[in-house]
Each structure stands twice: as structure tokens, then as C-alpha cells.
């Protein structure tokens, strides 16, 4: 399903925002800067967004005007100016279990062994026994250590609680470079998954020097049945064809927007199915248990990222509303439209397909290198 683009998908204060991303200009994908509703090429100053985010002032890279934002089309729409994911060469990392609700849901998956039908009873028991404690402690603190000891004594300890309240955050690799999906593209769930959900998140963009330079929206598509059967299946639960979307653009820090706005971000989620089903959800960054800058620091710990990285910060959203059968909770169906909205960052919208049916990922690093070598600048006229 091709979604219809409009400028309403951009930040509410578009005139004040400075945005960066990628647009396919009649087949040539170029980095762009968006100011005042006009899309400008940044290719003359930066061949990739990894290069763009490394500039001391990425906003200064705005060159020739390409089009108005109203002229943009969804990824895969065939429009002259197609939106693409704002990432290219950056590693795509994700922090997990950064909210108390998500910690409890991961423990539920583990105890239910991936069976959605067993989740409701386990949820009530765990919420009563550990919910308040998880919400009230600072991860890695002495109080958290005492809570851990008490939970072990009660036989309630879990590897997910370790990363929820212990000193070390869970940080994993979500997707290969150049594989992410942009606004309007199809997002994939494995065809053999029967319990899955979107994860609406704020994503911080970090340059090669370890500096957070902006933020965007992301959908960290998750397969609850796979991860619930074993945490060692995390890679299969998280990294599949078309299973990671970002966009529509990165909002650059500075220009009246910064990390405090990330900390205060409120995200709304709507899932609309072809069967008439609708789910409304919300995630508030104010309830995150680890500060975004601490998550960036832990991602950088004893690791370098010469092309920078994007870091999903985690989600408060936990879909427990029944869809088909009482007690089985939510799972996606093909054709679902997932819309994530934040006034400061805009709207990310995608349609759910199976990973088998999503467009295959064929454009890799070698293809990018060939394209860059073949042209000095895109044809804009």
C-alpha cells in the first residue's frame, strides 16, 4: 500500500526546524537539508549523510533547491522525489528494556516461552510483584542491587531484569547499514511469526566523533514469539528484511532543538488494520530509566564508529489490547498501517508486509561506492 505524503508529516514547527535526510532525485539518492519547507541538495558538501552529520555545521551544507516538501513521495512510490531513510553508512544500534513496562513485557515473553496465550495471567502476577520496584529504582544504584537480591530470593530474577536495573544497558545491533526503510515504505515481519508488534522510538544520531547531532523517529519491529522462546534468538527477532524504519528526517540539534527535547518527547502510535482494527498507543520519554546520553556513552564504551551510528532509545509502548482472541493480546496482520507521531520530529508511517514479500534488500556498500564513483553531482534539472 502506497501512503500519501503531506507536509503534515513534518515537525509542527517546521519553519523553525532544520532537517537532514536522503531523497531519491529521479533515481539518484542524495543527502538533503530541509529549511522552511524547501528541500536542498547537500551532495556538494557531503556524499552521504554519514559525511553530512560529521560536519561542524550540517545545516550550512544546504545547496541548490531540489523541490518543495509538498513534492515529495513515499519510498517505493515511483515519484520524482522519493523519501528514503535518513541513514546510509551509519551502524544501526538499539537499546532494549529501557522502560519499566518493557522490562515486565520481556519477562512475560520469557516466562510464556513465546506463547501469547499465556501472557495475560503472567502479566498480572509480575506487575503485582515487581512493577512498583522496577519503576522506583535508578539502574545500577545500591537500591537496584538490593531489589535484585530480593527478586533472586523470591525466584523472580530474569536476564531482562538484569539489563533493566543493573549497571549495564542492553545495546544490540538492529540492522545492517543501508538496509533501513524510510517514510512510506513497507516494513517486514517474518512470515513464520505469530506474535509481534511495532516499537515506536526516538532515535538519536551520533557522528563519528561520538557527538549526538540530531534525532528522528524509528520503528524497531519486534517478534515477541521468537525472543520469548530464547533471548539467543534476539538477532532473528530483530533483524529481518525491511524490519527497521526511520524518518521522515533527522532533526538537527541546535536551532532551538536539543537533547532536552528528546528527553521530553511524547510519541503517539496508531495501528490501523484492513480488518477495521485500530490500536492507539503512547510512549513518553520522560519515563525512560536511563538517560539518552548515558545510553550513547554505553554504546561508545570501548568501541569506535568511524561512520557514526543511530541509536534507538527504547519504548514504553507495550501492546496488550486483544485483537482476535481474548487473552492473546496484539499481533500484526499484513496490511496494517503503523503511524508514529511526535510534534518535534514529525510522523513516520509504514505498511506491514511479510519480510518475504517486502522489496529485497539489494543496494549495499559496493553499489553505493559504484554510484558515488560514477557521478560528481546529481542531475537536479
Q: Identify how many contiguous H helices and E strands the chain contains and give both numbers.
A: 11, 18
Domain CATH number, residue 244: 3.90.850.10
> Are 370 and 353 members of one domain?
yes
> Are 152 and 284 members of one domain?
no
> Are 214 and 139 members of one domain?
no
Cell digits of residue 143: 537500591
> Are 144 and 220 members of one domain?
no
- Asked whether 61 and 35 are in contact (CB, 8 A), the reply is no
Residues forming beta bridges with residue 208, ordered by sequence position:
none
Domain assignment present for residue 381? The answer is no
Closest CA to 92 of 238, 310, 259, 278: 310
pTM of the model: 0.90
Instruction: Choose the final residue of a domain: 165, 188, 203.
Output: 165
Domain assignment present for residue 380? The answer is no
pLDDT for res 130: 60
> Are 341 and 223 members of one domain?
yes
Peptide bond into 146 cis (omega under 30): no
Residues 246 and 42: their CA atoms lie apart, in Å, by: 19
State the residue for C-alpha cell 556513552. 297
Domain count, the chain: 2
Task: Give the length of the chain.
Answer: 381
> Are 139 and 253 members of one domain?
no
Sign of CA dihedral 192, 194, 197, 203: negative
- Asked whether 58 and 252 are in contact (CB, 8 A), the reply is yes
Helix (H, G, I), strand (E, B) or coil at 317: coil
State the residue for C-alpha cell 532494549. 96
Look up the domain containing 124 and give its range.
100-165
Domain assignment present for residue 23? The answer is yes
> Are 159 and 183 members of one domain?
no
Domain assignment present for residue 145? The answer is yes
For residue 27, count other CB atoms closer than 10 A to its CB: 10
Domain assignment present for residue 2? The answer is no
> Are 311 and 348 members of one domain?
yes
Domain assignment present for residue 132? The answer is yes
List the pLDDT tens digit at each of the 381 positions of the chain.
Answer: 678 999 999 999 999 999 999 999 998 999 999 999 999 999 999 999 999 999 999 999 999 999 999 999 999 899 999 999 999 999 999 998 887 666 667 677 677 766 777 767 766 766 666 655 666 678 888 887 887 777 677 676 777 778 877 889 999 999 999 999 999 999 999 999 998 999 999 999 999 999 999 999 999 999 989 988 888 899 999 999 999 999 999 999 999 999 999 999 999 999 999 999 999 999 999 999 899 999 999 999 999 999 999 999 999 887 778 888 787 789 999 999 999 999 999 999 999 999 999 999 999 999 999 999 887 655 555
Residues 352 and 245: their CA atoms lie apart, in Å, by: 11
Residues 18 and 335: their CA atoms lie apart, in Å, by: 33
> Are 155 and 227 members of one domain?
no
What angle separates helix 100-112 from helix 119-126, to the nearest 10 degrees? 130
Helix (H, G, I), strand (E, B) or coil at 16: coil
> Are 211 and 324 members of one domain?
yes
State the residue for C-alpha cell 503485582. 128
Residues 142 and 136: their CA atoms lie apart, in Å, by: 12
Cell digits of residue 166: 543493573
Residues forming beta bridges with residue 28, ordered by sequence position:
25
Domain assignment present for residue 242? The answer is yes
pLDDT for res 133: 60
Residues 6+ apart with CB under 8 A from 165: 103, 134, 137, 139, 140, 144, 147, 148, 289
> Are 255 and 302 members of one domain?
yes
First to last CA, the chain: 30
Domain assignment present for residue 365? The answer is yes
Amino acid at each position: 500500500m502506497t501512503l500519501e505524503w503531506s507536509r503534515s508529516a513534518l515537525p509542527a514547527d517546521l519553519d523553525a526546524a532544520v532537517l537532514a535526510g536522503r531523497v531519491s532525485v529521479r533515481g539518484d539518492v542524495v543527502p538533503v537539508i530541509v529549511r522552511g519547507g524547501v528541500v536542498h541538495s547537500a551532495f556538494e558538501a557531503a556524499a552521504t549523510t554519514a559525511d553530512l552529520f560529521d560536519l561542524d555545521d550540517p545545516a550550512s551544507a544546504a545547496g541548490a533547491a531540489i523541490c518543495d516538501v509538498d513534492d515529495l513521495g513515499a519510498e517505493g512510490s515511483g515519484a520524482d522525489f522519493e523519501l528514503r531513510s535518513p541513514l546510509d553508512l551509519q551502524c544501526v544500534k538499539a537499546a532494549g528494556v529501557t522502560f519499566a513496562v518493557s522490562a515486565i513485557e520481556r519477562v512475560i515473553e520469557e516466562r510464556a516461552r513465546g506463547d501469547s496465550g499465556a501472557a495475560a495471567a503472567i502479566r498480572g502476577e509480575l506487575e503485582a510483584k515487581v512493577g512498583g520496584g522496577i519503576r522506583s529504582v535508578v539502574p545500577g544504584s545500591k537500591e537496584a542491587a538490593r531489589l535484585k537480591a530480593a527478586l533472586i530470593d523470591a525466584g523472580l530474577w530474569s536476564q531482562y531484569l538484569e539489563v533493566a536495573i543493573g549497571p549495564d544497558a542492553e545495546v544490540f545491533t538492529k540492522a545492517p547499514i543501508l538496509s533501513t526503510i524510510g517514510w512510506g515504505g513497507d516494513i517486514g515481519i517474518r512470515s513464520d511469526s505469530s506474535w509481534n508488534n511495532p516499537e515506536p522510538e526516538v532515535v538519536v544520531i551520533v557522528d563519528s566523533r561520538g557527538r549526538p547531532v540530531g534525532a528522528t523517529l524509528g520503528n524497531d519491529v519486534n517478534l515477541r514469539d521468537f525472543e520469548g522462546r530464547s533471548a539467543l534468538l534476539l538477532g532473528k527477532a530483530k533483524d529481518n528484511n525491511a524490519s527497521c524504519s526511520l524518518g521522515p528526517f533527522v532533526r538537527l540539534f541546535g536551532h532551538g532543538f536539543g537533547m532536552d527535547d528528546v528527553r521530553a518527547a511524547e510519541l503517539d502510535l496508531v495501528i490501523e488494520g484492513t480488518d477495521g482494527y485500530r490500536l492507539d498507543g503512547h510512549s513518553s520519554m520522560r519515563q525512560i530509566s536511563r538517560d539518552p546520553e548515558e545510553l550513547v556513552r554505553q554504546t561508545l564504551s570501548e568501541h569506535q564508529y568511524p561512520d557514526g551510528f543511530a541509536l534507538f532509545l527504547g519504548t514504553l509502548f507495550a501492546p496488550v489490547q486483544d485483537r482476535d482472541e481474548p487473552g492473546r493480546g496484539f499481533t500484526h496482520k499484513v496490511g496494517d498501517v503503523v503511524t508514529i507521531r511526535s510534534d518535534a520530529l514529525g510522523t513516520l508511517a509504514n505498511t506491514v508486509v511479510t519480510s518475504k514479500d517486502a522489496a529485497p534488500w539489494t543496494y549495499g556498500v559496493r553499489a553505493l561506492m559504484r554510484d558515488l564513483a560514477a557521478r560528481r553531482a546529481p542531475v537536479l534539472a
